[in-house]
Copies of this chain bind each other. A is one copy, B any other.
């Protein structure tokens, strides 16, 4: 099956005397095996966050509906992404044994939670779109950082 989307792979421990938890004031390191890293890495898939956002409105969607919303995703990647999310307990997969197969994807309770958070980022991005774009333009105009020589 080629596994692909495996996540995990290493069960390294080493020592990392963990101090606080993750963010807030006690932020220290973000160890490789630990939870926030794992989720952050899952989420970091090219289509993962987009899938969560697409499902975030509460409605269950069929495979191809989802596919259309993502715009650009291939069957393979969508399937893979959804499997990974299902594995993590974030999405549900419901198969209706009808004659043209009907499969619906929805969010679990857990999935709803994270989808809300991701959606906030998407909304934030939309609301700050112009600022982000302007920043990019400014940065590109000022060109390469270092290089005080050769001119």
Residue ranges of A at the interface with B (Cβ–Cβ < 8 Å): 1, 16, 21-25, 27-32, 34-41, 43-46, 48-50, 53-54, 56-57, 68-72, 83, 86-90, 93, 110, 113-114, 117-126, 128-129, 131-136, 138-140, 144-145
The answer to whether B89 touches A122 (Cβ under 8 A) is no
Copies in the assembly, this chain: 2
The answer to whether B72 touches A50 (Cβ under 8 A) is no
- Interface majority SS (helix, strand, loop, mixed), chain A: helix
Of the candidates B1, B28, B70, B88, the one whose C-beta lies within 8 Å of that of A136 is: B88
The answer to whether B29 touches A89 (Cβ under 8 A) is no
Query: Distance in Å from the Cβ of A126 to the closest Cβ of chain B?
Result: 5
Chain B positions within 8 Å of A123 at CB level:
21-24, 36
The answer to whether A122 touches B29 (Cβ under 8 A) is no
A-B CB contact pairs (8 Å), 29 listed: A1-B144, A22-B53, A22-B123, A22-B125, A23-B120, A25-B57, A29-B68, A30-B54, A31-B71, A34-B129, A35-B125, A35-B132, A39-B124, A39-B132, A40-B49, A40-B118, A40-B125, A44-B46, A44-B48, A44-B49, A83-B145, A87-B139, A88-B135, A89-B131, A89-B135, A110-B128, A110-B135, A114-B121, A117-B124
